[in-house]
Structure 1
């Protein structure tokens, strides 16, 4: 009889662990986004030219002279066992939200940009089909402007690879089915001298905006110089006018700013509603030894605050799942502890 009870407890104990694993899988999995099927057997290989300024980087960094023309090449390599469709795009370098370098956004060049990379360079192909264990070479034609410029101009070639299944049709218009997708970036940077360019940032405006379905205060900043900024620290606060209580803030110690670009700094309300009124915005940005500080006022009108708050989406569903998850875990722990106590007690009675 004791052996029967002991086995029953062991079975229950194992069952509870199994149920616990099931619950954890059910509730944690929707909160994460991991692309396990990403195609890792694809890469790009640039052929660096003789006028490569920095030989230690894996992208094109060219020193050019006025009206100089040259042809660059790079290989798109498919190491996998499936055919690959590669899509190629070429864009000017931009700076995205909260000072992140980007080569994916299609934007009108900033007014301070005198030599956009998209006016200097063109790529030979927009789309390539590459068979398994094969490669194809892409040509980039670059022509420097007539007038020498200081600093750098930057752009980026994005190569997006889709593995394809020729035997499966998604619809009548498409002859293959996309199996997985991976994107690689190859930067292209051009300079025409080694003159030092001083850094500078300008405060363009303050505003409120819906970002990722959440209302936020923003500051629009401009880098009006042909220089890349790294080693960033961003600290900003939003307070009610003439008060010290912080309504929204930002603190960031990573990121980068590309030449001649505008970008937004977003202040997080941390779940609070946007209230109408006048606010003081303080912002400080440092890049290496350079530092900029601004203090601005911004007024939020009642209709604007109402519209943004009504359209806001809060993560209530995720919060509910987290609460349920922790409740289930606590319950499972209590049950396991009880069963362990019972097992130990039965063992001592033998």
Structure 2
């Protein structure tokens, strides 16, 4: 079962990574609109379909994206300039609109890029969206990574009783990646292992270990091998290995180690992790502890939890042995009385 799950996970990750810089999410084959980057002269590689721009400190520039409405109706497209983060699947995510970023990120893309939120396109028409870029005055090495996120704006409407049931609606969105750099200077990659704590994914127990990329470099084809042991023991209790992951610059994510539908047991443990990326290897051995309160909290919520009946077997066996001893003693006394 595990090889099958791993194979499925590989193909899912491959498909998501393949669409990192121009992602199309569709629920039907007929897309109402399309987007394309109008590449400027300072595009580093003109064979790419996303923006990869060489700029100077303090420079301002307008870039454009062409929107084409292929439908027979007027539509409005929402545009957002989002900072790239790394989600817990180990994939660069351009759809995040929140404010909480990694503390090492000094210049988020959402602060560099400004765009008009709504653009109305006539039926069978075309519009160009302008994005204003303002580079920070202070020079920097590495890259700033973000995405221009386009989706059709839904008109406000109240649902009828019939519409309030289960429905499948078509949702369309595009993302065009934007990479901003000031030089070709290479930044050395480095990683940090942060907080380790029990948690859940879809109501299933997992151990989460925070992996951080604290430098402004894009990480591709990253591999992590992780296993858990009891503290000062060698026997592997739980293990999760993953390949072909990516990380955005100055970002972090929670790497999940499956607890294989087992209940959390309070105690002292050790996480052993090996990370490979950019031709280098990082290794960590870090102790952590699960207390009874945390274990009970997650065990009470968990679904499909395999119960551990070992203690019941021990108690039952002890009771059975005790009963047999009492029975043997009683029969012995009875035989002795008859003999007398």
TM-score, normalised to structure 1's length? 0.73
- Aligned CA distance change for structure 1 residues 46 and 178 (closer, same or farther; 3 Å): farther
Paired with 1:179 and 1:133, the residues of 2 have a C-alpha distance of 22
The answer as to 2:141 corresponding to 1:150 is: yes
The correspondence of residues 47-126 of structure 1 with structure 2, limited to 5 A, is 47-105=38-96, 106-124=98-116, 126=117
- Which residue pairs with 1:267 in the alignment? 257
Unaligned runs of 5+ in 2: 1-24, 161-166, 307-340
The correspondence of residues 203-222 of structure 1 with structure 2, limited to 5 A, is 203-222=193-212
Structure 2 residue matching 1:237: 3-state secondary structure = strand
- Aligned CA distance change for structure 1 residues 222 and 36 (closer, same or farther; 3 Å): closer
- Which residue pairs with 1:238 in the alignment? 228
- Aligned CA distance change for structure 1 residues 88 and 36 (closer, same or farther; 3 Å): closer
TM-score, normalised to structure 2's length? 0.75
- Aligned CA distance change for structure 1 residues 89 and 251 (closer, same or farther; 3 Å): same
Paired with 1:123 and 1:39, the residues of 2 have a C-alpha distance of 27
- The correspondence for 1:288, drawn from 260, 264, 278, is 278
Instruction: Provide the alpha-carbon RMSD of the alignment.
Output: 2.5
- Aligned CA distance change for structure 1 residues 178 and 307 (closer, same or farther; 3 Å): closer
- Aligned CA distance change for structure 1 residues 110 and 148 (closer, same or farther; 3 Å): same
- Aligned CA distance change for structure 1 residues 142 and 293 (closer, same or farther; 3 Å): same
- Which residue pairs with 1:329 in the alignment? none
Paired with 2:231 and 2:283, the residues of 1 have a C-alpha distance of 18
- Aligned CA distance change for structure 1 residues 287 and 221 (closer, same or farther; 3 Å): same
C-alpha contact 2:220 2:247 (8 A) present in aligned 1: yes
The correspondence of residues 245-260 of structure 1 with structure 2, limited to 5 A, is 245-260=235-250
- Which residue pairs with 1:130 in the alignment? 121
C-alpha contact 2:73 2:122 (8 A) present in aligned 1: yes
- Which residue pairs with 1:339 in the alignment? none
C-alpha contact 1:250 1:267 (8 A) present in aligned 2: yes
Paired with 2:238 and 2:29, the residues of 1 have a C-alpha distance of 37
- Aligned CA distance change for structure 1 residues 83 and 275 (closer, same or farther; 3 Å): farther
Deviations 1:255-299 (A, max 9, x none): 201111121111011211111111110111111312111011110
Paired with 1:102 and 1:303, the residues of 2 have a C-alpha distance of 34
Unaligned runs of 5+ in 1: 1-33, 317-350
